[in-house]
Amino acid sequence: MKLDQTKIVVTGGASGMGRHFSLSLAAVGGDVAAFDVNDEGLASLAAEAKGLPGTLRTYKCNVADEAEVEASFTQAWTDFGGLNGVVNNAGIFRDGLLVKKDRNTGEVKSMSLRNWQAVIDVDLTGPFLCTRALASRLVEHGGSPGVVINIASISRHGNMGQGNYSAAKAGLHADTVVWAKELARYGIRCATIAPGFIDTPILQGMREDALAMMVKGVPLGRVGKPDEVFQGIRFIIECDYFTGRCLDIDGGLRL
Nearest by Cα to 153 from 121, 198, 114, 112: 198
Domains contained in the chain, number: 1
Domain span at residue 10? 3-248
Render 195-230 in DSSP notation, one character per residue: E-SB-SHHHHTS-HHHHHHHHTT-TTSS-B-HHHHH
- How close are the terminal C-alpha atoms of the chain, in Å? 34
Asked if the structure places residue 64 within a domain, the reply is yes
Asked if the structure places residue 25 within a domain, the reply is yes
Q: What is the pLDDT of residues 29-88, one digit of tens each?
A: 999 999 999 999 999 999 999 999 999 999 999 999 999 999 999 999 999 999 999 999
Asked if the structure places residue 155 within a domain, the reply is yes
Q: Is residue 165 flagged as an active site residue?
A: yes
Q: Are 172 and 119 in contact (CB under 8 A)?
A: no
Helix (H) or strand (E) holding 193: strand 188-195
- Find all residues with CB under 8 Å of 65, minimum gap 6, and list them: none
Which entry of 59, 165, 186, 241 is annotated as an active-site residue?
Answer: 165
Asked if the structure places residue 253 within a domain, the reply is no
Other beta carbons less than 10 A from residue 205's beta carbon: 8
Asked if the structure places residue 255 within a domain, the reply is no
Low-confidence ranges of the chain (pLDDT < 50): none
Render 39-61 in DSSP notation, one character per residue: HHHHHHHHHHHTT-SS-EEEEE-
Asked if the structure places residue 44 within a domain, the reply is yes
Asked if the structure places residue 28 within a domain, the reply is yes
pLDDT of residue 206: 73
Q: How many CA atoms lie within 13 A of 181 on its CB side?
A: 5
Nearest by Cα to 223 from 245, 247, 201: 201
pLDDT of residue 209: 84
pTM: 0.94
pLDDT of residue 101: 93
Asked if the structure places residue 254 within a domain, the reply is no
pLDDT of residue 245: 98
* CATH code for the domain of 173: 3.40.50.720
How far, in Å, CA of 89 to CA of 19, rounded?
A: 10
